Structure 1
Amino acid sequence: MASTSRNIDNVNNSDDSDFVPESDETSVEDSSDISDAEDEPRVYNPVWSPNTAGLRQIPFTEENRLKVSIPGNNKPIDWFYLLFDIILLENIVRETNRYARLVYFSPTLMPKSRINNWRDVTTQELKTFIGILFHMGTVRLNRINDYWKTGRFFNFPVVREQMSRDRFLLILRCIHFADNSKASNDRLMKVRLLVDYFNAKMDAVYYPCRELSLDEGMILWRGRLFFRQYIKGKRHKYGIKVYSLCEPHGLAVRLTIYSGSDGELSGHGHASKVVLHLMRGKLSNGHALFMDNYYNSFPLASELLSQKTYCTGTLRLDRKHLPEDVKNSKLKKGETIAAYAQGVMVAKWKDRRVVAYISTEFKNTMAISVNRRQVQREKPLPIVQYNANMKGVDRNDQLMSYYPMEHKSLRWYKKVFVHMLQMIMVNAYKLHNFANLDTSMSFYDFRLEVIAALLPEREQPAPVRPPKNPMHVLSKTYKRDAKGNLVRIRCRVCLQEGRKDSKTVYICAQCPGEPALCPIGCYEKYHAPK
């Protein structure tokens, strides 16, 4: 997902190439929005000089810690449920059942549609559904139907015993995370529950380490979508852009999704708005933030510094307020030049190619860097620190890419849901190892234990087909008037609530007296547990 050219060193760490230039990441949909990283609420007049005295010392005033006690029995499933709790499960169950009823009562529904066999999903059934989704990432097949085949090439009893194919596909079709009946101008309304839940949950259970990295990734999506993006340097070039704040080892702390040029964080200074939004609750605590040249600028560095937050990263030389000496200097290989103003350092270094960088934490001193082949090279200290701390989003994406769960036929908001499930799994794994340094485990083993807990062994296989019409369903009345038209009957619930003129052709044949009920609202009220 994240660009493979984030590291100043060559991605293969070869001895003869130490710098791969950053890709120019722009969107075909909104290039003006994302190309301007500078947000200038005030006038900046930096006076640049070679004097380093202006750099500030900012202590880290927080502690990298769990904010909650170790969950349950300290098993992988306990850590997964810490981040994917019963509140989120019940919200998804409620919205899925609500949406399924809307589909069931659709006038365009075909008589042989699977939805005619719908019964309300339960929290336990949703856990089973999620377990099967995770296992589909462990054992990758091109077609969903293949997981239920019994031939010698495909035979997965663990899937067949847990849930029938039709039931899985029904839940996959109806799974929902928002009430469609509520009008909203929020383009992310369908996934707002997931994004807000993830951010709130991570804030509640964990405080990250001092060093943080911020980068964007892509959720693959090639269909029609207003806020679909194209970024040339990504593994998935077309898709939904996700901005993530991560620790260097890959734990995601906070995220937000780009929703178009008129979204909440869009417009002038878009990149700066994203940075300040993702750092909400972390500013003024002495964090060191690492970003690439898509975000960095002198105004943003000054703003972060005023809120006791360092920033370090690569820089585009066409940004405003940069020192002319640094911008225009001609360097030989190995040479570097730097200037300082208001606690900000801007520098340029010539290796195989020229790279510009900015830092409010480090001076432009040289440091020894060791690559994978144990070859030592001298590089500017800000670049060494950037390379060491800027891989958080890449590492998070790398872990998720090992067990891909997406399928081409999914709608965009379901792909976001699958992406969020994967992020929760990775974060649960990282938190487990953070709390169990002496007994840490591999991501593969952690993931399998979670799947095993979500898909426990059954004594008897689940029925292949669900019972027909297992829940009370509305049907049209059989009564007709003299002209052969269906007779409209007063709704039982509307009548009880004083709306005497409300009539409907739907009745519940399973209830005593076959009461007439409006399909939306009244059906749910009448059948609600009393």
Structure 2
Amino acid sequence: MKLSTDLMAKRTVDVVLADPCFWESDDSDIERASDDESAFELNSDDSVSESASSDCDLDGLARDVDVAIDLEHDDSDEYDDDGEAPNENAVPVKNCEWTKKLTELPDVSFVFEHLVGVNKDIEGVEHFEAVNLFQLLFTDYILRDIVVETNRYAKQCQEGRHIQKDWTNISVPELKTWLGLVIATGIVQKKGRIASYWSKHWLTQTPGFNQTMTSKRFLQILSCIHFVDNSSTTVNKSDKFWKIRTLLDYVVKRFQLVYNPEREIAVDETMLKFKGRLGIKQYIKNKPIKWGIKLFTLAESSSGYVLNIIPYAGKREDTQLSKTAQIVVDVCQPFLNKGHYLFMDNYYTSIELIEYLSQVKTLSCGTVNSNRKRLPSDMKNSATKKLKKGESLKRISNNVLAVSWKDTRVVNLLTNIPGNLDDVDIQRRDKKQGGKEVTISKPRAIITYNSYMGGVDLSDQRVATYRRHMKSLTWYIVKTLCCSSLYCT
């Protein structure tokens, strides 16, 4: 007996989100990202697939991140010889006067009195079932917009290209059903064509898909799913992401409205694998995924909850801040002047940025390239090369602590977060002594950084668990935002 549309929608979304296997996945069951090319059709010839990585807890992630990420980035085309993005409009700055006389950084922590957790003022937040929390992010408001634009696009296809002749208008309940199946394809990982989920082969069949929606209807909706009117004259089509901007901005706003993060937040990039032709494609040679589309992401450090996403859309116009500093300011904008501690890697960190963030009541900590401007001269000469394992060099200027520490290699770090001046004894295995454990000193500033830098990586790894790689721009967008919403719940 055929299920009604309303019943199918409720059944699909409820069943998917209530399934314990969704929330309690085992690492051994996680499908790794394949090297197969998938299409990201911002232009008709473009292709993409998402990054995938293993699930892990924050402690394990901190061990993986560690200070080795100091050499993670190599974007030489974007920097001048001093390590800063060239900027003719930048305001001239004075050199720092660094001192060896170490005094504890003054406790200039800004008041952080925000209630952390789910915003209880949001209607419907009192229902803590997964499906209810998911619908706090993907609300009926945005779903109705998607329904309108999808039906509009299907009609345009019928009139202009004489396809989708048998199209019947989609409704909000049917869209929820379709989204439920999109989520289910991440829980039940199958390689190959999407039609394999409707296979009747006795060994590999997944009858829930057939009982919910036909494969023809699923693919028909996938081919027509739309978020904006292509014929609109009011849309800013110079925006390289104009076709998805409405959905992206709305869901990100809901991320920020529904949940209040802890004090510690982190900014980092997410690379989405991409092998096709696209002007905004990026290359980072030391990343696991070298070619792809870059997203600048802000996340809560402890949970990986996504707070903001800004896709890289090409070189930026010059501002008073360097290009990388402006990226951080833009992605953190909704959370400035609130007393947060921000963690970042050497792609962003500079004296200029730390000083600016302090002016907007945000303290920060990050690894830094030794060729950045205004660093202590000790960090730029042979002094750091003479450091032995466990030794460190520290300098202070204008309430900013600069640290160079030698582990397997030298790592440089800047911070103005108080309480990070001392060292802590840690255990390391020494290969030269046959793997024997030895005690070395580690600056607390490095430990603090490792503890809170991994938020974006944690989010990426959790989300990647439920992605299915398939050709299609619309698939990528819907799947990525659905997975992010589910993880954030």
Band of TM-score, shorter chain = 0.7 to 0.9
Task: Work out the CA distance in 2 between the residues paired with 1:154 and 1:403.
Answer: 19
Say whether 1:129 aligns with 2:169. Answer: no
Residue 203 of structure 1: how far off its partner (Å)? 2.4
Task: Indicate the residue corresponding to 1:348 in structure 2.
Answer: 404
Secondary structure at the residue paired with 2:160?
Answer: coil
Task: Indicate the residue corresponding to 2:327 in structure 1.
Answer: 274
* Equivalent residue letter for 2:441: E
Give the alignment's Cα RMSD to 1 decimal.
3.1
Secondary structure at the residue paired with 2:396?
Answer: strand
Task: Indicate the residue corresponding to 1:406 in structure 2.
Answer: 469
Q: Which moved more, 1:167-176 or 1:375-384?
A: 375-384
Task: Indicate the residue corresponding to 1:86 in structure 2.
Answer: 140
Residue 334 of structure 1: how far off its partner (Å)? 1.8
Cα deviation per residue 1:20-77 (whole Å; 9 max; x = unaligned)?
353443469x6459x7458743423321112436644213323223223562532111
Q: How does 1:208-357 map to 2 (within 5 A)?
A: 208-248=261-301, 249-262=303-316, 269-328=322-381, 329=383, 330-357=386-413
* Equivalent residue letter for 2:117: R
Residue 144 of structure 1: how far off its partner (Å)? 0.6
Task: Work out the CA distance in 1 between the residues paired with 2:245 and 2:320.
Answer: 21
Task: Indicate the residue corresponding to 2:220 in structure 1.
Answer: 170
Alignment size in residue pairs: 412
Task: Work out the CA distance in 1 between the residues paired with 2:203 and 2:472.
Answer: 25
Task: Work out the CA distance in 1 between the residues paired with 2:348 and 2:441.
Answer: 26
Say whether 1:160 aligns with 2:210. Answer: yes
* Equivalent residue letter for 2:422: T
* Equivalent residue letter for 2:311: I
Task: Indicate the residue corresponding to 1:61 in structure 2.
Answer: 112
Say whether 1:425 aligns with 2:475. Answer: no
Secondary structure at the residue paired with 2:334?
Answer: coil
Max Rg structure: 1
Q: If each structure's helix is expressed as a fraction of its own residues, which one has the higher value?
A: 2
Secondary structure at the residue paired with 2:483?
Answer: helix
Instruction: State the structure with bigger RCO (CA 8 A, min sep 6), 1 or 2.
Output: 2
Alpha carbons of structure 1 residues 62 and 306: separation in structure 2 relative to 1, 3 Å: same
Task: Work out the CA distance in 2 between the residues paired with 1:212 and 1:226.
Answer: 31
* Equivalent residue letter for 1:255: I
Secondary structure at the residue paired with 1:279?
Answer: helix
Task: Indicate the residue corresponding to 1:149 in structure 2.
Answer: 199
Indicate conservation of the 8 Å contact 2:96/2:374, yes or no: yes
Cα deviation per residue 1:273-299 (whole Å; 9 max; x = unaligned)?
111112113222221111110010010
Alpha carbons of structure 1 residues 19 and 298: separation in structure 2 relative to 1, 3 Å: closer
Indicate conservation of the 8 Å contact 1:56/1:343, yes or no: no
Cα deviation per residue 1:153-186 (whole Å; 9 max; x = unaligned)?
3322210111111111111111111221135211
* Equivalent residue letter for 1:427: C
* Equivalent residue letter for 1:136: T
Task: Indicate the residue corresponding to 1:366 in structure 2.
Answer: 423
Alpha carbons of structure 1 residues 21 and 251: separation in structure 2 relative to 1, 3 Å: closer
Task: Indicate the residue corresponding to 1:180 in structure 2.
Answer: 230
Q: How does 1:8-19 map to 2 (within 5 A)?
A: none
Q: Which moved more, 1:81-90 or 1:267-276?
A: 267-276
Indicate conservation of the 8 Å contact 1:55/1:344, yes or no: no
Indicate conservation of the 8 Å contact 1:215/1:245, yes or no: yes
Indicate conservation of the 8 Å contact 2:143/2:172, yes or no: yes
Matched residues, percent identical?
Answer: 33
Secondary structure at the residue paired with 1:280?
Answer: helix
Residue 95 of structure 1: how far off its partner (Å)? 1.3
Task: Work out the CA distance in 2 between the residues paired with 1:12 and 1:71.
Answer: 31
Task: Work out the CA distance in 1 between the residues paired with 2:411 and 2:52.
Answer: 20
Secondary structure at the residue paired with 1:117?
Answer: coil
Question: TM-score scaled to structure 1, two decimals?
Answer: 0.71
Alpha carbons of structure 1 residues 132 and 235: separation in structure 2 relative to 1, 3 Å: farther
Indicate conservation of the 8 Å contact 1:26/1:230, yes or no: no
* Equivalent residue letter for 1:354: V
Alpha carbons of structure 1 residues 390 and 48: separation in structure 2 relative to 1, 3 Å: same
Secondary structure at the residue paired with 2:482?
Answer: helix
Alpha carbons of structure 1 residues 176 and 135: separation in structure 2 relative to 1, 3 Å: same
* Equivalent residue letter for 1:22: D
Cα deviation per residue 1:187-218 (whole Å; 9 max; x = unaligned)?
11011112211231122222110011111011
Q: How does 1:28-39 map to 2 (within 5 A)?
A: 31-32=78-79, 36=84
Indicate conservation of the 8 Å contact 2:337/2:362, yes or no: yes
Task: Work out the CA distance in 2 between the residues paired with 1:190 and 1:150.
Answer: 36
Indicate conservation of the 8 Å contact 2:91/2:320, yes or no: no
Residue 380 of structure 1: how far off its partner (Å)? 0.6
Secondary structure at the residue paired with 1:98?
Answer: helix
Say whether 1:387 aligns with 2:387. Answer: no
Indicate conservation of the 8 Å contact 1:311/1:359, yes or no: yes
Indicate conservation of the 8 Å contact 1:3/1:394, yes or no: no
* Equivalent residue letter for 1:20: A
Indicate conservation of the 8 Å contact 1:54/1:341, yes or no: no
* Equivalent residue letter for 2:421: N
Cα deviation per residue 1:365-387 (whole Å; 9 max; x = unaligned)?
20245799999753111110111
Q: Tell me which of 159, 172, 183 is aligned to 1:105.
A: 159
Indicate conservation of the 8 Å contact 1:369/1:384, yes or no: no
Alpha carbons of structure 1 residues 259 and 414: separation in structure 2 relative to 1, 3 Å: farther
Residue 257 of structure 1: how far off its partner (Å)? 0.6
Task: Indicate the residue corresponding to 2:131 in structure 1.
Answer: 77
Task: Work out the CA distance in 2 between the residues paired with 1:402 and 1:105.
Answer: 40
Alpha carbons of structure 1 residues 156 and 403: separation in structure 2 relative to 1, 3 Å: same
* Equivalent residue letter for 1:25: H
Task: Indicate the residue corresponding to 1:189 in structure 2.
Answer: 242
Alpha carbons of structure 1 residues 13 and 73: separation in structure 2 relative to 1, 3 Å: closer
Secondary structure at the residue paired with 2:295?
Answer: strand
Task: Indicate the residue corresponding to 2:44 in structure 1.
Answer: none
Task: Work out the CA distance in 1 between the residues paired with 2:85 and 2:107.
Answer: 24
Indicate conservation of the 8 Å contact 1:96/1:174, yes or no: yes
